[in-house]
Structure 1
Amino acid sequence: MDRKSQDKVLRAGSTIIRKDDYPQPRIKARYVAGSDYRTYEKYKTKAERDRAFAGLLKGDKVISD
């Protein structure tokens, strides 16, 4: 999805999340159109992050990048 399409989704009230591994496992999120991804939460292991990611995706207003 390109940046303009992401901005439309964000203006509709959704949140876009993605996984990141550097410098440590974390989830990054975009909340507001025109902003960059920000760290949502940091985790000690990738498995812990992946479980949290799956849980977040169960929400109606959360989508994955």
Structure 2
Amino acid sequence: MSTIDEPHWFKSSYSGSEGDNCVEVAVRPEAVRIRDSKDKRFRPLVVTPTAWAAFTALAAGSSLDG
């Protein structure tokens, strides 16, 4: 049974369709959690919303193809 306090995870649109490189993110006002969707044994990485915004802005401005 889920509660309102549980994070809502969604898979990155850049995750591989073959089941590889799958990253899930849960955004909350107080923190952003990032985890590997294939191995949920490990605690997610937790960053501030400000840090996440800076990371995604930088990633959007860079070439992911090399």
TM-score, normalised to structure 1, is 0.36
Specify which structure has the higher proportion of helix.
1
Specify which structure has the higher proportion of strand.
1
Q: Higher relative contact order by CA 8 Å / sep ≥ 6: 1 or 2?
A: 1
TM-score, normalised to structure 2, is 0.36
Larger radius of gyration: 2
